[in-house]
Structure 1
Amino acid sequence: MAGILYAIAAGIIIAMQGAMNSRVNEKAGVWMTTTFVHGTGFIVSLLLYLWLRGGSLDNVFQLNKGYLLGGVLGVGIVVGVTLSIGQLGAAYAVAIVLVAELVFALAIDSFGLFGSPRVAFEWNRIIGVVVMIAGILIFKWK
């Protein structure tokens, strides 16, 4: 149940962040917006880490170094979401982002990408994605 609540909270926060970033982008540009988002996020997350985790970085050095590029991917996320919301509106952009994210997450599960445990492929997942795509088409139907 906690995982579901975390996912709901993350979805709400992603939509809020995208809308806010789109407004900042209108005045500051996408690269300053991205820099500000990641800069403030770095400061807050570092402070929380030092407070909640005692400041130890030992476990980080045991990871596959490629996994540490998540922040680089975050730049693409912030830029993509910021620009898409500015051009498409929040609901339409987030719907497309969700479908794209779900399709790639299915690939991660099915093939065990990035060291993730493999999850058996099931056709009902593809049907779910198709239904979501149909929902987007209905959402934009004029």
Structure 2
Amino acid sequence: MNILFIIFSIAIGGLLSIQGNINNQVSRLFTLSGMVIGISIVQAIGIIMVSKGEALKYLGVLGGPKMWISGFMGVIILLGLTKSISFLGSVMAFSSVIVGQVIFSAIIDTFGLLGQPKQPLSMYRSISIGLMLVAVVLLILDNGKS
């Protein structure tokens, strides 16, 4: 089992948490369906523009930088998760992603990042995050014996 891909999957989970918060901010400017359509267009068109080196001059189109950041994060998340699944398997990859989401979400909430209200890290939240980490470690140990 490649520990780098586990760390990579945890990072992908972190990106999902950040992307979710950015999407929340974007959805305040557009309807939910408008945001989803806009981000999908950004993901499709954005890759073409980046490959031609022209993405920066289009940042003001389709909702501005936050929409573009979220769209590109979606592409990175999809590609990264697909690669992680091929190396780790579905259970290990998705478990690692969930741990990353929970850890990064706790950081975002605790410090009030990305426009979120501050929510202190309680004992129960700490214990639940710890239990998730233990679960991933157990999955790693079990995978090594297979």
Q: Which band: TM-score by shorter chain? A: 0.5 to 0.7
- Separation of aligned partners in 1, 2:40 and 2:139: 36
Structure 1 segment 76-91 matched on structure 2, within 5 A: 76-91=76-91
Structure 2-normalised TM-score?
Answer: 0.51
d(CA) in 2 for partners of 1:133 and 1:89? 18
Displacement of 1:123 in angstroms is 2.5
Equivalent pair of 2:110/2:121 in contact (CA under 8 Å): yes
Inter-partner Cα distance in structure 1 for 2:93 and 2:115? 29
1:70 Cα deviation from its structure 2 partner: 1.0
Q: Take 1:94 and 1:135, find their aligned partners in 2: how far apart are those partners?
A: 12
Contact 2:112 2:118 in 1 (8 A): yes
- The answer (yes or no) to whether the contact 2:108–2:114 under 8 Å persists in 1 is yes
Give the TM-score taking structure 1 as reference length. 0.52
Q: 2:40 corresponds to which letter in structure 1? A: F
Which structure ranks higher in relative contact order (CA pairs < 8 Å, sequence separation ≥ 6)?
2
* Residue 42 (1) aligns with residue 40 (2): yes
Q: How far off is 1:104 after superposition?
A: 0.3
Q: Is the 8 A contact 2:40 2:71 kept in 1?
A: no
Alpha-carbon RMSD: 2.3
Any idea what SS the aligned residue of 2:97 has?
helix
Q: Distance in 1 between matches of 2:109 and 2:78?
A: 24
Choose 112-121 or 88-97, whichever is displaced more. Answer: 112-121
- Cα deviation for residue 139 of structure 1 reads 2.3
The answer to whether 1:130 aligns with 2:116 is: no
Task: Show structure 1 runs of 5+ residues with no match.
Answer: 1-38, 44-59
Q: How many residues align?
A: 84
Using a 3 Å threshold, how does the CA distance of structure 1 residues 119 and 66 change in structure 2: closer, same or farther?
farther
Task: Report the AA paired with residue 117 of structure 2.
Answer: P
Match of 2:66 in 1: 67
More displaced 10-residue stretch of structure 1: 77-86 or 122-131: 122-131
